Structure 1
């Protein structure tokens, strides 16, 4: 059976060869119905574009790269799936780089992959701003959760969700709370810390901040001693993984959630599967990945318009890990002094 060609796809779909080419390389220039018709015809015929030929004729590789700090973190794995699905819909393959939370490795990945991709989606970058701008001057870059003027960006605004969580805790009688954050170089963690601090002050709550370091289950579990020492009755964690670690550390000490302590997470990826189910701020991770890919590919198709930015609002989802503040322990009772004997009874 002969290998299907672009000419055969065009004839079967009733369109020009240029339209077939655009359906794979620049689908945003066509109507969704035309793109669906062309791609459906190509799939039925078994047609696959020649990426080498396309790269030679268009100067495009048909690939983009997604650079993540930690692919094992549920937030970034969900973001990755959203980005890959959107890239596939638009005819692009996705390279993946895991920077292991290090700025140096981000720098290396951006440099080494540049020759093989048409642009980058850089999620929660740890790099300093000048280095990000240096790479963006060489290849198109869209950043997620880093607000850099002049660079395409998708910002997940979880501040309102954390504000709502503080209001919830205040209404439940909590007077001392903690924010457990990622390294302070993290834009999203800084944003969440500011929201908790401001909302706490507005509602008369005492707020302490504890740095968990690299967000992980172990980091959450290890910070429990500090939470208890600080005398707080609730913790808001930078993500669900850290929140789950906090719940595990409390359980190891015989404390119940939410009876003895309330916990709030963020991302809402694993929150419904914890025990108890975790109150969490839904960060719409997959949508953030898809929007970033759209920004990048739209910019490749038409680089002249002003740089765009998308803001996604996070919302609080209340579940079973938050409850009324525990009643304060009764003050220890002093020993009653012995009664003086009745003088009249003395012999």
Structure 2
């Protein structure tokens, strides 16, 4: 006969309710007790009935995860870590892609709200008011966006932008450009404010170019503007934009880093394989996925009594081949 929840309770020396809570809300169970229950369940071959549990607890043990563009290499490490972390807590994750469309994003949140216990919203394109309205119907945690009264995981891109500008300054660059991302992007706004302030403090000029699509094609399209700007050092919205920019500059006979230095943001695999290998601001995507799951499960467990939490994760500069001192005598 198949093992029952009562068998697991007897084997682990706890009440049936503790076994139930171990599988439905593991973060509420003492780690030592949780491990003992899970070990007993494994030994007995016990598997909880998810349908029955949902009827009893009112929870699905499913989470939604919505990203702006699943084809962007920035998102897979975040998705993978979130799924693995959720699975350790006996939750499944449904992943959805908005293709950078705020209307699709809103529709997906409304649809998933009927099927999951909470939603992770990564790099949202919706405005804050729309997100606040949707959060009234389903627990939401946002990644890389600050929304009043909501839990969020932020990657400190402002710090990263300052590091990038300081690196270019140390190399001797005195005219810089920032190739921004989509209008309304929190990340783009943070980068712009931080880079502009650091450039002002150093007494140099920063040219703002954008908005731009957050893709390789967006970087290609920005290459002509960068060439005309006279900048010798460029910070791009993300690595995909930087890779496209390098390609576009090359098509115009501009060498990277010989004529112009380029820095990206994210530290995705294609940037490490690009030629030249891309100097970039590394974003803690895997840590963000795990942290976002933790915050969402806290919100789900607390219900209406949930207290918003904010986690800010550190970024760092990775120097590779796409940055160098400016050409002597200025760029021709």
Bin the TM-score by the shorter chain.
Answer: over 0.9
How big is the shift at 1:273? 2.8
User: 1:236-291, CA deviations, whole angstroms, 9 ceiling, x for partnerless residues?
Assistant: 01111111111222333343322222111111122333222221111101111211
Matched residue of 2:93: which SS? strand
How much does 1:305 deviate?
Answer: 4.8
Q: Secondary structure, in 3 states, of the residue corresponding to 1:94? A: strand
C-alpha separation between the residues in 2 aligned to 1:52 and 1:330? 66
- Find the counterpart in structure 2 of residue 335 from structure 1: none
**May I ask how many residue pairs the two structures share in their alignment?**
330
CA contact (8 A) 1:212 1:223 kept: no
Contact 1:212 1:219 in 2 (8 A): no
Quote the Cα distance in structure 1 between the aligned partners of 2:261 and 2:158: 19
Aligned twin of 2:299: 299
- Shift of the alpha carbon at 1:178? 0.9
Mapped contact 1:170–1:205 kept (Cα < 8 A):
no
| Residues 1:136 and 1:329: Cα distance change in structure 2 (over 3 Å) | closer
Task: Give the unaligned 5+ runs of structure 2.
Answer: none
| Greater shift in the superposed pair: 138-147 or 205-214 | 205-214
1:328 aligns to what? Answer: 329
Structure 2 Cα separation of the partners of residues 38 and 278 of structure 1 = 48
Which runs of at least 4 in structure 1 moved beyond 4 Å after TM superposition? Answer: none
Q: 1:119 maps to what in 2?
A: 118
Cα offset for 1:18? 2.1
CA distance in 1, matches of 2:166, 2:289: 29
Give 1:65's aligned residue. 64
- Residues 1:86 and 2:82 are matched in the alignment: no
Structure 1 equivalent of residue 275 of structure 2: 275
> What CA distance in whole angstroms lies between the structure 1 residues aligned with 2:124 and 2:331?
48
Task: Give deviations 1:123-150, integer Å, cap 9, x for gaps.
Answer: 1211122221111111111111221111
Relative to 1, partners in 2 of residues 1:251 and 1:36: Cα closer, same or farther, differing over 3 Å?
A: farther
Q: CA deviation at 1:108?
A: 0.6
Unpaired segments ≥5 residues, structure 1: 332-347
User: Aligned residue for 1:319?
Assistant: 320
Q: Quote the Cα distance in structure 1 between the aligned partners of 2:187 and 2:288.
A: 13
How far is the alpha carbon of 1:12 from its aligned partner? 3.6
Q: What are the equivalent positions in structure 2 for 1:40-55 lying under 5 Å apart?
A: 40-55=39-54
SS of match in other structure, 2:136: helix
| More displaced stretch, 37-46 vs 26-35 | 37-46
1:79-106, Cα deviation, whole Å (9 max, x unpaired) = 2122212211111111111111111111
Q: Greater Rg, structure 1 or structure 2?
A: 1
How far did 1:179 drift?
0.8
1:199 paired to 2:194: no
Task: Give secondary structure in 2 for the equivalent of 1:138.
Answer: coil
The answer to whether the 8 Å contact 2:64/2:96 transfers is yes
Deviations 1:3-49 (A, max 9, x none): 33223333344433222222211111223233233334434544322
The verdict on how the C-alpha distance between 1:301 and 1:326 changes in structure 2, with shifts beyond 3 A counting, is same
SS of 1:207's partner is: strand
Distance in 2 (CA, whole Å) between partners of 1:129 and 1:227 is: 31
Report the Cα distance in structure 1 between the residues aligned to 2:166 and 2:57, rounded to whole angstroms.
Answer: 54
| Aligned twin of 1:216 | 215
Equivalent runs, 1:210-249 vs 2, <5 Å: 210-211=209-210, 213-249=212-248
Match of residue 251 from structure 1: 250
RMSD of the TM alignment (CA)? 1.9
Using the alignment, how far apart are the partners of 1:101 and 1:125 within structure 2? Answer: 8
